[in-house]
Amino acid sequence: MSNKLLELQNLKTSFRIEDKYYAAVDDVSITVNKNEVLGIVGESGSGKSALAFSVMGLHNRAKIEGNIVFKGKNIANSKPSHLNKIRGDAMAMIFQDPLTALNPLMKIGDQIAETLILHRPNMSNKERTEHVIELLNMVGIPRPVYVYEQFPHELSGGMRQRVVIAIAIANRPELLIADEPTTALDVTIQAQILDLIRTLKNEMHAGIILITHDLGVVAEMADRVAVMYAGQIVEIADVHTLFEKSKHPYTRSLLNSVPAEGQDKLHVIQGIVPGLKNLPRKGCRFSHRIPWVDPSHHEENPELHEVAPGHFVRCTCYKHFYFPDETKEVHIHGNPRG
Ligand SMILES: Nc1ncnc2c1ncn2[C@@H]1O[C@H](COP(=O)(O)OP(=O)(O)OP(=O)(O)O)[C@@H](O)[C@H]1O
């Protein structure tokens, strides 16, 4: 039996700005397997959330092209009635900001019960209440019977995020998308929430897409990592390879901008991901951030190249990339850490 849970085939998500559509996710093809955490990293504006919302069918006015194959069925552009059956059931999402994800006027327990009423209508009231308490217990909320009756504003940020997770896992989703699930939390709470997500993978064997700009989180949690830049995947590999043998200049600059043990120098590449209207659509999208690399080293139509089994890199410029304060000779034959 196939282990494949989700397959994005040439996914393109475009938003209308004034009178034209601009792709925020541009020709992305990736797979998420059961019992696997796929990390998606990239700077703000690289298209991570647009990708997640596309999978969940949460874009109202975007144009979606390509296929989103979930458990063998293409759900791209499915009717809302069909998506409503899957969302919160076989597929669920943990949002970045628990305050906006929760209804401020509804008791915690009732908010969790709501998703059970929707997807498991045959559950008795008693069974449902018991299940909600069990879920609150599972996500590590102390005094669950008491918390059932509380409102979101009465809980701390970490506890609220646990409630959001309880809602997401209420129906034992097979695919869980976590979009920056710990960004709003302090470091100790962050570690607890990540532990919880790890437990979910181990106990429920779910496939998890973990979106973050925090490379430390990815290193700790992911099995495979996709690096996004300007709407495209620029590199994808298993987590070990990505951290030890990354090749794409963007990945290398992401890794090199974080202080690491034994590293005496940080290489920060200037600039930001351009806005949608100004995104370069031709050639290597990262080229304007690395102007010292000879233009002839970029491909005209950069493709993902499989440089080792399961390790893909976009644009052959990686072969010629070096940081300005390194010597060219050391790097021209590959990554010094590789
Ligand atoms: N509904 C929308 N309409 C128009 N443009 C949008 C819309 N949603 C996102 N965008 C644009 O699409 C691009 C990708 O945004 P997205 O939110 O997916 O990035 P991201 O990588 O998730 O960033 P962050 O880490 O800040 O959440 C950005 O340029 C953003 O401004």
Going from N- to C-terminal start, the domains of the chain cover 4-222, 227-331
Residue 307 token pair: 């440089």
Residue 334: the pLDDT is: 42
Distance 50 CA to ligand 1 centre (A): 6
Cα separation, 198 vs 178, whole angstroms: 12
- What is the layout of strands, in order, in the sheet containing 63-70? 20-33, 4-17, 63-70, 73-74
- Residue whose C-alpha is closest to residue 43's, from 333, 279, 319, 298: 279
**Whether complex ipTM tops 0.85:** yes
Mutate to test the pocket of ligand 1, among 44, 93, 250 (most ligand atoms within 8 A of CB): 44
Distance 283 CA to ligand 1 centre (A): 21
Mutate to test the pocket of ligand 1, among 49, 58, 217 (most ligand atoms within 8 A of CB): 49
47 Cβ below 6 A of ligand 1: yes
Distance 46 CA to ligand 1 centre (A): 7
Long-range contacts of 315-318 (CB under 8 A, 24+ apart): 315/234, 315/248, 315/284, 315/286, 317/249, 317/284, 317/286, 317/287, 317/290, 317/293, 318/247, 318/248, 318/249
Helices (H), the chain: 48-56, 80-86, 98-101, 108-119, 125-138, 144-148, 157-169, 187-204, 215-221, 239-245, 249-256, 328-331
Residue 64 token pair: 């979606």
Q: What is the mean pLDDT of each run of 10 residues along the chain (338 residues)?
A: 89 94 96 95 92 92 95 91 90 85 94 94 95 91 96 92 91 92 78 84 90 90 96 97 95 81 67 85 89 90 94 94 68 40
Residue 278 token pair: 């100004």
57 Cβ below 6 A of ligand 1: no
Distance 51 CA to ligand 1 centre (A): 9
213 Cβ below 6 A of ligand 1: yes
21 Cβ below 6 A of ligand 1: no
- Work out whether the CA dihedral 134, 137, 141, 143 comes out positive or negative: positive
Q: Please name the amino acid found at residue 249.
A: P
- Residue whose C-alpha is closest to residue 101's, from 23, 180, 167: 167
The residues pairing with 305 across neighbouring beta strands, listed in sequence order, are 313
Residue 332: the pLDDT is: 39
Neighbours of 20 (CB within 10 A): 10
Q: Give the pTM.
A: 0.90
Q: CB-based contacts of 189: which residues, under 8 Å, 6+ apart?
A: 157, 158, 161, 182
Collapse the DSSP code of 308 into the 3-class scheme (helix H, G, I; strand E, B; otherwise coil) and give the result.
strand
DSSP state of 99: H
- Work out whether the CA dihedral 147, 148, 149, 151 comes out positive or negative: positive
Q: Please name the amino acid found at residue 78.
A: S
Residue 331: the pLDDT is: 45
CB 269 within 8 A of CB 40: no
DSSP state of 277: G
Pairing state between β 224-229 and 37-41: parallel
Residue 128: the pLDDT is: 96
Distance 62 CA to ligand 1 centre (A): 12
46 Cβ below 6 A of ligand 1: yes
Q: Please name the amino acid found at residue 295.
A: P
Cα separation, 111 vs 67, whole angstroms: 32
15 Cβ below 6 A of ligand 1: yes
CATH among 3.90.1300.10, 3.40.30.10, 1.10.645.10, 3.40.50.300 for 4-222:
3.40.50.300
